[in-house]
A = this chain, B = another copy of it.
Amino acid sequence: MISAYDRLVAFARELQLVSDSASLLGWDQEVLLPRQGVAYRAEQMSWFSGYLHERFTAGEVGEWISEAEAAGEGEGALDPVVAANLREWRHDYDHATCLPTKLVQDFAEARVHAQSAWAGARKDSNFALFAPHLEKLVDLSREHAERWGYEESLYDALIDRFERGATTRGLSGTLGTLREALLPVVEAATSRRSFDRGRLAGHYPVSKQEAFNREVAEAIGFDFEAGRIDTAVHPFCSGIAPYDTRLTTRYDEGDFLSSLFGVLHEAGHGLYEQGLRKDWRGQPVGNAVSLGVHESQSRLWENHVGRSRPFWEKWLPRAVHYFPHLSGLTPEDLYDAVNQAELSHIRVEADEVTYDLHVLLRFELEQAIFAGDLAIGDIPGEWNRRFESYFGLPVRNDAEGCLQDIHWSMGIFGYFPTYSLGNLNAAHLAAAAKRKDASIEEGFLRADYAPLLGWMRREIHEKGSLLLPGELIELAAGSPASPEALIAHLRERYLGE
């Protein structure tokens, strides 16, 4: 007889095949799809989400889960893989079925309109064009959160979609501490002498950048037999499967660092995807655990590796090979070039030091919106007031202010804090890894990151979703994530401490 649990495993594997197919269609849409194919592709994507939702929310799935849970309860200590799968299936099933179809459809429709309104509003820098759509998405998200439920604050329910186990209270504490510690570093870092970027001026042909990036990605462990790098307007990493992990970056023929850091960041995500256990593919336990942990991997390779001195000692000679006009520069020059800090308006262009200030602003505003303390119409004023107070810069228009990010137009609230969690986790894990295994620190000094990757594979990648994100970090690092390591890292890098 096939047990309910075995049925679930087979069923989840089948849905994974289908959802990975949809991921490929989504990847293709960003990278290759001819313009005229967009509307048809949207129909396809909508079919996939409808199909997956329908299959997953079928009554029999709920019965299998209950049955498997009951069987598990009779057994005493459950196998940790079984326990993790049941935990995730229950969570996802309850989440998927708590929403009436009408709400799901309204949400999908509102998002389509909101995204197009947002694009127009940002172009015209006119928040009023976007406001009614944002209002609608906030209302729907509030209803969503109410139905899903929460312990303390409604915003908790939104965060939970992206970072299991995180709460408003917990994040406020952590990110508040980060902010206090960050402010003096920001002040010192942004007033340092800056590197003259003119010294990097020159022509960097795309084909040479591609070859250089590939060499770097391969050296840090990205497996091109199980992945690719392509070009897209916005760099991203699509984990279509652990056997097929696709990064994208974008090329500026006047600046090789832009595509390189796109690759380093996305390769960090890609190494995580490639490191997931293939034999668990299709089961929840085989998935990456959370956005905050995913972002820790991208930030690790981008900031801790790519912006380090030894990295440039190793890689500047190869860069000179591809771009001979760089031959007059020293590794220290490159180190300075990639570690400039500056207070500026746009989050996605922010450096390692000021980035979290951008996130904190959004985190505060989202809390205020969902607590009912900030009306939609008052967002631009409040954004601009806080921005000027934190960054010392006036916001000249909404396009460089509250309209700059796409997230809200997609109905995504509670996502921003995971960016800062990523920064914080990256530093916390890197420090722990170095402390626990001396060969990692030695590797860093020679720009040999095999020991580091090996540690991440064992402690993070291969564990998939066995634990909740906070538990996973704590077990790997020996202590719960805190801002301490990130602050120490930034103070060392920018204040020379």
User: Are A244 and B14 interface neighbours, CB within 8 A?
Assistant: no
Give complex CA distance A226, B33 in Å: 8
Contacts of A43 in B (CB 8 A): 17
Residue from the list B18, B21, B33, B225 in contact with A36, Cβ < 8 A: B225
Please, what's the 1-or-0 string for A5-36, where 1 marks a CB less than 8 Å from any CB in chain B?
Answer: 00000000010011011101100100011111
> Which residues of chain B are near A17, meaning CB under 8 Å?
40, 43-44, 47
The A contact surface, by secondary structure, is helix
| A225 B21 Cβ-Cβ under 8 A | no
Interface flag for A138 (CB, 8 Å): no
The answer to whether the Cβ of A243 comes within 8 Å of any Cβ in the partner chain is: yes
21 contacts between A and B (CB under 8 A): A17-B40, A18-B47, A20-B44, A21-B22, A21-B25, A21-B44, A21-B47, A21-B48, A32-B228, A33-B244, A34-B226, A34-B228, A34-B244, A35-B226, A36-B223, A36-B226, A37-B244, A40-B241, A40-B243, A40-B281, A41-B244
Beyond A14-B47, A17-B44, A36-B225, 10 additional contacts (C-beta under 8 Å) are A21-B25, A21-B48, A24-B25, A34-B227, A34-B243, A35-B225, A37-B226, A37-B241, A37-B243, A37-B244
Bound Cα distance A415, B342 (Å): 66
Bound form: Cα–Cα A48–B40 in Å: 19
Question: What is the bound-complex CA distance between A32 and B231, given in angstroms?
Answer: 13
Whether A150 is near chain B, meaning CB under 8 Å from some CB there, is no
Chain B, residue nearest A39 (CB) = B243
User: Which residues of A139-177 have CB atoms within 8 Å of chain B's CB atoms?
Assistant: none
Is the CB–CB distance between A36 and B228 below 8 Å? no
Chain B residues whose C-beta falls within 8 Å of the C-beta of A227 in the assembled complex? 34
Contact mask A348-366 → B, CB, 8 Å, 1/0?
A: 0000000000000000000
Q: How far does the alpha carbon of A355 sit from the alpha carbon of B227 in the complex, in Å?
A: 39
Which 6 A-B pairs rank lowest in CB-CB distance, beginning with the nearest? A37-B244, A36-B226, A36-B243, A37-B243, A35-B225, A17-B47
- A390 CB within 8 Å of chain B: no
| B-side contacts of A28, CB under 8 Å | 24, 28
Q: Which of A388-432 contact B (CB under 8 A)?
A: none
Q: Closest CB of chain B to A228's CB: distance in Å?
A: 6
Taking CB atoms, residues of chain B closer than 8 Å to A281 are 40
A36 to chain B, nearest CB (A): 4
Encode A204-231 as 1/0 by CB contact (under 8 A) with B: 0000000000000000000111111000
Q: Chain A contact residues (Cβ within 8 angstroms of B): what range?
A: 20 to 34
Interface residues of chain A, those whose CB is within 8 Å of chain B, are: 14, 17-18, 20-22, 24-25, 28, 32-37, 39-41, 43-44, 47-48, 223-228, 240-241, 243-244, 281
- Chain B residues, CB < 8 A from A36: 223, 225-226, 243-244
Q: Within the assembled complex, what's the spacing in Å between the Cα atoms of A43 and B41? A: 22
In the docked arrangement, what's the CA distance between A39 and B24, Å? 15
Complex contacts, A48 vs chain B, CB 8 Å: 21
- In the complex, what's the smallest C-beta–C-beta distance from A37 to chain B, in angstroms? 4
Task: Please measure, in the bound complex, the distance between the C-alpha atom of A281 and the C-alpha atom of B36, giving whole angstroms.
Answer: 14
CA distance A20 to B24 in the complex (A): 13
Contacts of A33 in B (CB 8 A): 244
Q: Determine if A244 and B40 form an interchain contact, defined as CB atoms under 8 angstroms apart.
A: yes
Which residues of chain B are within 8 angstroms of A240 by Cβ–Cβ distance?
A: 37
Residue of B nearest to A46 (CB): B17
Specify which chain B residues have a CB less than 8 angstroms from the CB of A44 in the assembled complex.
17, 20-21
Contacts of A228 in B (CB 8 A): 32, 34
Whole-angstrom distance between the alpha carbons of A317 and B337 in the complex? Answer: 47
Using Cβ atoms and an 8 Å threshold, which residues of chain B touch A21?
21-22, 25, 44, 47-48
A412–chain B nearest beta-carbon distance, Å: 25
Expressed in whole angstroms, the minimum distance between the Cβ of A294 and any Cβ of chain B is: 20
Q: Residue of B at shortest CB range from A48?
A: B21
A35 to B244, CA, bound (A): 9
Most buried by B among A32, A228, A281: A32
Chain B residues near A40 (CB-CB < 8 A): 17, 20, 241, 243-244, 281
Q: Which residue of B lies closest to A13 (CB)?
A: B43
A28 and B32 alpha carbons, distance in the complex (Å): 11
Residue of B nearest to A43 (CB): B17
Q: Contacts of A14 on B, CB cut-off 8 Å?
A: 47
Report the Cα distance A21→B20, complex, angstroms. 12
By the criterion CB–CB under 8 Å, are A225 and B20 in contact?
no
Distance, CA A278 to CA B138, complexed state (A): 37
